[in-house]
């Protein structure tokens, strides 16, 4: 039994030294655009989740994020877009420089970008149930169609 336990300890020690050698000899890819191996992704995601669960406070942000951007982030629910869909699609896909609008082409599929585009283009004409759900969930809803703000009220 003693030899068996020593064998397990020796195996773990060799595996640990092998991992250390791979990391310190530069054999592990570290570039951000390389796809990490599945084991690395699982270990890293598990470690991140465990650390967050242990250390992160459960507090909500007291600062409304939209007020911390300069220039301010457009409030597309309160002030819906009146641009054609192709224009909205391009802005969502590529982002808008010098605003708080990032490019979403790396995070969303082309089909999802078109879904966002369709939603933003039709925000004022959503069915009443969808508008009520939006208001209950997010505390604000789109202004009804035809009630656009005048330029001096903005």
Pick out the chain residues at pLDDT < 70. Answer: 30-34, 59-68, 70, 98, 143-154
Q: How would DSSP label each residue in 65-109?
A: GGGGSSSPPP-TTTS---S-HHHHHHHHHH-BTTTTB---TTTS-
The terminus-to-terminus CA distance of the chain in angstroms comes to 80
Domain containing residue 91: 66-126
Q: Is residue 33 part of a domain?
A: no
Paired strand residues for 96: 101
| 103-143 tens-digit pLDDT | 899 999 999 999 999 999 988 888 888 888 888 887 777 76
Q: In sequence order, which residues have a C-beta less than 8 Å from that of residue 110 and are 6 or more positions away?
A: 93
pLDDT for 148 equals 52
pLDDT for 150 equals 41
Q: Is residue 27 part of a domain?
A: no
Q: Is residue 108 part of a domain?
A: yes
* Domain count within the chain: 1
Q: Is residue 87 part of a domain?
A: yes
Q: Is residue 71 part of a domain?
A: yes
Q: Is residue 94 part of a domain?
A: yes
Q: Is residue 135 part of a domain?
A: no
* The two structure tokens encoding residue 94: 């590529």
Q: Is residue 26 part of a domain?
A: no
* The two structure tokens encoding residue 125: 């004409």
């Amino acid at each position: 039994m003693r030899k068996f336990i020593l064998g397990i300890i020796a195996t773990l020690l060799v595996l640990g030294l092998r991992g250390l050698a791979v990391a310190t000899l530069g054999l592990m890819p570290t570039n951000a655009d390389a796809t990490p191996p599945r084991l690395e992704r699982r270990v890293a995601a598990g470690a991140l989740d465990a650390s967050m669960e242990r250390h992160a406070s459960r507090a909500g942000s007291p600062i409304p994020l939209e007020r911390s951007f300069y220039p301010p982030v457009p409030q597309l629910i309160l002030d819906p877009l009146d641009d054609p869909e192709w224009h909205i699609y391009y802005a969502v896909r590529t982002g808008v420089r010098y605003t708080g609008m990032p490019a979403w082409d790396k995070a969303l599929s082309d089909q999802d970008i078109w879904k966002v585009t369709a939603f933003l283009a039709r925000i004022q004409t959503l069915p009443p149930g969808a508008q009520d759900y939006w208001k209950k969930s997010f505390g604000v809803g789109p202004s009804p169609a035809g009630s656009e703000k005048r330029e001096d009220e903005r």
